Structure 1
């Protein structure tokens, strides 16, 4: 082999080894701020990983550097991982024990902190984590959500904290949780929430879901169309909801009975769902009044008007016919 080729390959190998040995900083969308978990002597550099016995206490340290042009006041909040609509692990929700089968909440093991990091300065922050009294079954996927409290809308940084009693891998089970409504960017959304009720991280969850509003117009093929979602979630957090989003765009939410059908698959496991939900008029009105640019379908109104007119005409002709017989 040519010596030049050998030299190039060797440089690439050393460069790769050097890259994986560099401590990883957390993904940070806060202007000028980097956040780094101080792991210590470990091969894992992108998260904290705790394998501990009940009631044990661990100290976790985070380094925050501010390279921006202003001082920043950051809130560091412990929470549990949730699953986003695009199948990512996020730490932006306030998760409590009992939700989605969660036995222990990370927020109960340590306290949130607020820190001021001056420009061109670095600050280390320590957290004492008290593990629960009972055994940790499989995986608690906790983390620190870090954000600038001076901005109502802005970026954040996440520091994952994996807590396990045995470090044994476990799967999940997908079930249907509920049907919810939300307003996103001034548009109405119907969201079917599945859930992973098990303390196991899931990968590549494929979901097929349909939602249909029942109507008497269905017999004339004039009812609302069936909404369909075919999605793949690369990752699903333990004990978390799995939101399936149906964006209504400019169509307002209608009160009525909705039939939800679908299936989810992960590996060789498959789960099916079929349930009916009711959206009240108050719930629909609450969502619609917070949206903009909605276009109301007046098909039902027009049909009712036609029916009334036909009925009136029929009554007139009947009255004329009846009076003619008298």
Structure 2
């Protein structure tokens, strides 16, 4: 066989081998930053850490961070638990504590955060000692490391998931209504109905239909606020996490009052229904509205009151004329 052909085949072979055994970097939204979990065992999973077995003792996890950007990055690596975003993704951007949404153990209690300075074209390896709980872990404890730039010179964040389970048996989820919350997003008011998955299992393809209606005395005249409706699908829901259902108010300010929440959710063959009334105080409404811009206030109630006052005045005038005519 020609030596050039043998040489060419050898190059392709070693390139393929290198590609196969190369550690896989996790998805990173940090510009120029690559984050790679250094998996020491022979697992086929290379984009996350997996700890399977009796959950006692201390495990060592190593993360490699490379900076291919033009600026130095002062990165913070924070342990936390997975949560569910509004668009149905599993994220690690919130500080989750034990007890929230039925969570028995918080990953933030098992290891400590670290800060590392990575200069351009440099790589730093970090080692984390993870102290596992002495009690049993039911289902899946989905922890992870949230990585972001403390100086905001490199926008975005990255994450490295850590799956911890005793028996590696799949566990389903159960949805329930958690609360009604308010938030300001891009200078616009939002009403957020928070569902929750209190079970230690990942859920997939969760379809949610939800309505919110503020009660008003104008409802009897069909002049009250309209019912708001959201139909959305969450591709993934994290275990022991909230599921935010967003009602974007756009230019409509938040009004105080009683809000009736109704809805249903479905995942596979399982279905859940929700019905509850929440109260938004005037103080809560004012706090949200003053942080927003471009709000358009509905003057319907004011106009109706003005009309009622004018009608009352006209009625009194005619009554006075009629009464004086009888005298």
Q: Same fold (TM over 0.5)?
A: yes
Distance 1:67 1:169, change over 3 A: same
Q: For residue 187 of structure 1, what is the aligned residue in structure 2?
A: 188
Checking the alignment, whether the CA contact within 8 Å between 1:80 and 1:141 is kept in structure 2 is yes
Separation in 2, partners of 1:70, 1:152: 8
Q: For residue 173 of structure 2, what is the aligned residue in structure 1?
A: 172
Shift of 1:153: 8.2
Separation in 1, partners of 2:117, 2:154: 19
**Are 2:207 and 1:206 equivalent residues in the alignment?**
yes
Shift of 1:314: 0.7
Checking the alignment, whether the CA contact within 8 Å between 1:258 and 1:277 is kept in structure 2 is yes
Separation in 2, partners of 1:203, 1:77: 26
Q: For residue 234 of structure 2, what is the aligned residue in structure 1?
A: 233
Q: Which runs of 4+ in 1 moved over 6 A?
A: 15-20
Shift of 1:29: 1.6
**Are 2:118 and 1:123 equivalent residues in the alignment?**
no
Q: CA RMSD in A?
A: 1.7
Distance 1:113 1:176, change over 3 A: same
TM-score in terms of structure 1 length = 0.93
Q: For residue 310 of structure 1, what is the aligned residue in structure 2?
A: 311
Shift of 1:79: 0.2
Q: For residue 39 of structure 1, what is the aligned residue in structure 2?
A: 39
Q: For residue 84 of structure 2, what is the aligned residue in structure 1?
A: 83
Q: For residue 218 of structure 2, what is the aligned residue in structure 1?
A: 217
Shift of 1:262: 0.2
Checking the alignment, whether the CA contact within 8 Å between 2:203 and 2:238 is kept in structure 1 is yes
Secondary structure of 1:176's aligned partner = strand
Q: For residue 29 of structure 2, what is the aligned residue in structure 1?
A: 29
Shift of 1:55: 2.8
Checking the alignment, whether the CA contact within 8 Å between 2:196 and 2:240 is kept in structure 1 is yes
What are the residue-to-residue correspondences of 1:1-326 with 2, within 5 Å? 22-40=22-40, 41-151=42-152, 154-326=155-327
Separation in 2, partners of 1:301, 1:267: 48
Checking the alignment, whether the CA contact within 8 Å between 2:140 and 2:200 is kept in structure 1 is yes
Checking the alignment, whether the CA contact within 8 Å between 1:53 and 1:131 is kept in structure 2 is no
Secondary structure of 1:132's aligned partner = coil
Separation in 2, partners of 1:276, 1:19: 56
Q: For residue 6 of structure 1, what is the aligned residue in structure 2?
A: none
Separation in 2, partners of 1:229, 1:199: 26
Separation in 1, partners of 2:210, 2:188: 21
Checking the alignment, whether the CA contact within 8 Å between 1:52 and 1:131 is kept in structure 2 is no
Separation in 2, partners of 1:21, 1:195: 39
Distance 1:56 1:29, change over 3 A: same
Checking the alignment, whether the CA contact within 8 Å between 1:101 and 1:239 is kept in structure 2 is yes
Name the stretch that deviates more: 148-157 or 135-144.
148-157
Separation in 2, partners of 1:89, 1:125: 24
Name the stretch that deviates more: 141-150 or 217-226.
217-226
TM-score in terms of structure 2 length = 0.93
Checking the alignment, whether the CA contact within 8 Å between 2:192 and 2:247 is kept in structure 1 is yes
Shift of 1:17: 9.6
Structure 2 stretches of 5 or more lacking a match? 1-14
Separation in 2, partners of 1:239, 1:178: 15
Secondary structure of 1:286's aligned partner = helix
Shift of 1:312: 1.0
Distance 1:304 1:73, change over 3 A: same
Aligned length: 313
Shift of 1:323: 2.0
Separation in 1, partners of 2:154, 2:258: 35
Separation in 1, partners of 2:116, 2:18: 32
